[in-house]
Amino acid sequence: MVACPVLILTQSSILALLAIAVDRYLRVKIPLRYKTVVTPRRAVVAIVGCWILSFVVGLTPMFGWNNLSAVERAWLANGSVGEPVIKCQFEKVISMEYMVYFNFFVWVLPPLLLMVLIYLEVFYLIRKQLNKKVSASSGDPQKYYGKELKIAKSLALILFLFALSWLPLHILNCITLFCPSCHKPRLLMYIAIFLTHGNSAMNPIVYAFRIQKFRVTFLKIWNDHFRCQPAPPIDEDPPEERPDD
């Protein structure tokens, strides 16, 4: 139970990034119908679905896919009696088969590859719109897609930082499973673990500095709940920034 929360939170981060990527794709693919497709109710359903799925994936070791049987066999092989003594360390209790075959190969790597494909398609659609020859009186689409391009670049940066932070640890897990005799420097393992923790610290900074709406929202939360001073309202997209037909 101590080892599972990090799995839940990691999975929720991945699914949230995937949901955001799909949202940005819809913003540039169907801009005129976006608000009728992505309603607040559907957004709430997507968020709740991501968290439910994250709990299912993260708590799977609690349902039996863990190292308990291996610990019991080793306990009996040593001639010990009674209940086995279990060290509450991640690699001692969490199965590497689960971490590699189920967590990495099913719930980490495919979503990351899917997000890469989605953002490539987003950049292609935006560039396609920006390269269109438009008259001087129809600059609104240019402004809209230019703004979307800036947001997409920021989110792609967040995706890159996430992959850079988490892939080293998963690669080391693969080495542990497929090459048990291979030596893994302890320092290298510590660096990989530090990167995963550092990613959680990097995300708010990147969001705040790269995306204006996140920055304004963070300031609003800070002023409303910590300084008890109402912040100015968040500006929505003005009508002139919306794309034409």
Least confident of 73-77, 95-99, 170-174, 212-216: 212-216
Distance CA 225, CA 233 (A): 15
Chain segment 112-154, per-residue pLDDT in tens: 999 999 999 999 999 888 887 554 444 567 788 888 888 888 8
Cβ neighbour number for residue 242 with a 10 Å cutoff: 15
pTM of the model: 0.82
Is the model's pLDDT at 230 over the cut of 90? no
Q: For 92-120, what is the mean pLDDT?
A: 95
Residue 10, beta-bridge partner list? none
What are the angstrom distances between the C-alpha of 239 and each of 38, 141, 236?
Answer: 18, 11, 9
For residue 194, give the nearest of 168, 212, 221, 218 by alpha carbon.
168
Chain segment 209-224, per-residue pLDDT in tens: 888 888 888 888 888 8
pLDDT at 57: 97
Structure tokens at 241: 């920034």
For residue 141, give the nearest of 151, 128, 153 by alpha carbon.
128
Structure tokens at 47: 């968020």
Chain segment 7-34, per-residue pLDDT in tens: 999 999 999 999 999 999 999 999 999 9
Mean pLDDT score of the chain:
86
Give residues with Cβ within 8 angstroms of 146, minimum separation 6: 130
Q: Higher confidence at residue 181 or residue 82?
A: 181
For residue 162, give the nearest of 11, 3, 4 by alpha carbon.
11
Question: Cα 193–101–13 angle (5° rounding)?
Answer: 50
- CB of 231 closer than 8 Å to CB of 224: yes
DSSP 63: G
